[in-house]
Homo-oligomer: A and B are copies of this chain.
Amino acid sequence: MTVKQLSIPDLVKGCTDLGVPAVALWREPVAEHGLHTAARLVREAGLTVTSLCRGGFFTAADPAERARALDDNRAAIDEAATLGTDTLVLVSGGLPPGSRDLFAARERIADALAELWPYAAQRGVRLAIEPLHPMYAADRCVVSTLAQALDLAERFPSEWVGVVVDTYHLWWDDTIETHITRAGAGGRIHSFQLADWTTPLPAGVLTGRGQLGDGVVDFRWFRDRVEATGFTGPIEIEIFNDDMWSRDGQEMLAQTVARFREHAL
């Protein structure tokens, strides 16, 4: 998604040229290219698919909408398995229209996880709950902190339900070190993602994530804490940035690799 202007073949070529060994994919561009074609392309290039983004949106109260969401998540789990990744990232969903009941929304997430994890486990796919920044709590994700994501995940087996640690969403939290340690000790860090926090935020606050080094996040601090728990998994970079998307995708991919070396190695 960091270089969403690139087609899947161009993304694969760019990663190969730059020595990037692994890539996280989103469902929509994969579907557009064709799931099986994309899977074969990535596999033949020797790239690991670190995760598929995204399942989730579990908070609907309406039974028909809820059933559709569960079906869609089963499809996402199947797609993850086809792509050969072991991790599906979950954005849990915001408040249903007209609702002010955060507690009920959060319980519906737990109910959905209870239904989905055995299906995912059968296919070798882990469900990774992503806490999103609290500014998205109303309309995208009522899970806003790592502590809260862990409270949910810990109701289920750690092999199959874990969390995403994404610096963009969590950098501000004064308790984050404690909960990174807790997540790592429980084997729950299923994905580790980097993006920087820059201001001012754009309208809608969706596409203002910063290139590494342009903002206030101390990536080495985060990486040290995550790796101190024994985490040896991949590090993903996921930046939504209108300016980066408007530029040459291969240049932006190269810039991202350079920034990772400068700020996070």
Contact = CB atoms under 8 A, between A and B. Distances in A.
A145 B145 CA distance: 11
A189 B215 CA distance: 34
Interface in A204-231: 204-205, 215-218, 221
A148 interface: yes
Nearest to A218: B100
A137 interface: yes
Contacts of A221: 100
B174 A148 contact: yes
Interface residues of A, number: 37
A134 interface: yes
Nearest to A147: B175
Nearest to A144: B172
A89 to B, nearest CB: 20
Nearest to A134: B172
A198 B102 CA distance: 15
Interface in A101-134: 101-102, 106, 133-134
A185 interface: no
Given A100-B217, A218-B100, A106 B138 contact: no
A31 B203 CA distance: 32
A119 to B, nearest CB: 27
A145 to B, nearest CB: 7
A95 B216 contact: yes
A151 B201 CA distance: 28
Interface of A: 95, 99-102, 106, 133-135, 137-139, 142, 144-145, 147-148, 151, 171-175, 197-205, 215-218, 221
Given A102-B174, A134-B173, 4 more contacts: A134-B135, A137-B171, A137-B197, A201-B201
